[in-house]
Amino acid sequence: MAVPPAIALQALAHRYGDHQALDDVSFDVAAGEIFGLLGPNGGGKTTLFRVLATLLPVQRGRATLAGFDVAGDPEAVRRAIGVTFQSPSLDKKLTVAENLKHQAHLYGLSGATMRTRIDDLLAKLSLSDRRSDRVESLSGGMQRRVEIAKGLLHEPRVLLLDEPSAGLDPGARHDLWRYLAQLRAEAEVTVLVTTHLMDEAERCDRLAILDRGRIVALGTPDELRSSVGGDCLTIRGDRPDELARRIAERFQVHSQRVGDALRIERERGHDLLRELVDAFPGEIESIALGKPTLEDVFIARTGHRFWDDAKGESSRQSAVGSRQ
So what's the pLDDT on residue 91? 95
So what's the pLDDT on residue 308? 65
Give 67-133 as a DSSP string: TEETTT-HHHHHHHEEEE-SS----TTSBHHHHHHHHHHHTT--HHHHHHHHHHHHHHTT-GGGTTS
So what's the pLDDT on residue 122? 93
Beta strands in the chain (DSSP E): 7-16, 19-29, 34-38, 60-65, 68-69, 81-84, 158-162, 190-195, 206-211, 214-219, 231-236, 256-258, 261-266, 286-290
Radius of gyration of the chain from its Cα atoms, rounded to whole angstroms: 23
Averages of pLDDT over each 10 residues, the chain, 324 residues = 88 95 96 94 92 96 97 96 90 96 94 96 91 94 90 93 84 84 85 92 95 96 88 91 94 90 88 92 91 89 75 42 36
So what's the pLDDT on residue 11? 97
Instruction: Write down the pTM of the prediction.
Output: 0.81
Torsion of CA 64, 67, 71, 75, to 10 degrees: -130
